[in-house]
Amino acid sequence: MNLADYDVLSFDCYGTLIDWETGILDVLGPWAEQVGAGLSGDELLAAYAVNEARVQQDSPTMLYPEILAEAFRRTGDTLKVTVSRDWASRLGASVPDWPAFPDSAEALASLAENYKLVVLSNVHRDGFAGSNRRLGVQFDAIVTAQDVGAYKPTDNHFDALDSVLAKLGVPRSRLLHVAQSLFHDHVPATRHGIASAWIDRRHDRPGWGATPEPTEKYSVDMKFPSMAAFATAAGAALSGE
């Protein structure tokens, strides 16, 4: 594949552009220390990931702060430790505090010079607005879980892309989906026949982090360790190098 063959890049946000694992652990870590859970960061993320995916499946129209709080409570149940209302609320309100990856803003600014940029996010509108202030780019379209009434990996976000592409006047063949999560993004992108690039943020760490291991078929067309590497490759392709 040639990155010069695309006009629109759709992005997952959390895990790809925003460092949600650090944001989640900024709450789960102190909680685990307080209750004496004795788990590593990766162990906490693995326990949390399964519960968040289940809550999203069980309650697809629930706003993301409530998803976070309920997933935290269920994670406590899994670990046989009660999560107080205060702790659950703290995680639910934390999305705007989650940091951007150091390379995200610069990479997006570079890509915006040549591509239309779209976000497909598993959060609510207010949460993404807070995160977007850290990214510093104006996206051409934003599709949140609140907008489509469901959470990835269901098809709703990707179905909504059809109307986005129609408004942009771009055929689906000129769309590339860019994401970290195989479970949330590359599985549904594969179902929809959309080319995709994997930003493997965990390339130097074992395990799946805050995302469940994918259990359905997926494929990726290109793989990069960071947004910086992806933006560099796009620039080279567009300049004919």
CB atoms within 10 A of CB 66: 15
Report whether 203 contacts 178 (CB < 8 A). no
Residue with structure tokens 């594969």? 190
Task: Give the tokens for residue 124.
Answer: 């609510």
Q: What is the Cα gyration radius of the chain?
A: 18
12 is catalytic: yes
Q: How far apart are CA 234 and CA 188, in angstroms?
A: 23
Report whether 229 contacts 205 (CB < 8 A). no
Catalytic residue among 5, 7, 12, 200: 12
Helical segments of the chain, H only: 20-35, 41-58, 64-79, 85-92, 104-111, 125-135, 145-148, 156-168, 187-191, 227-238
Catalytic residues: 12
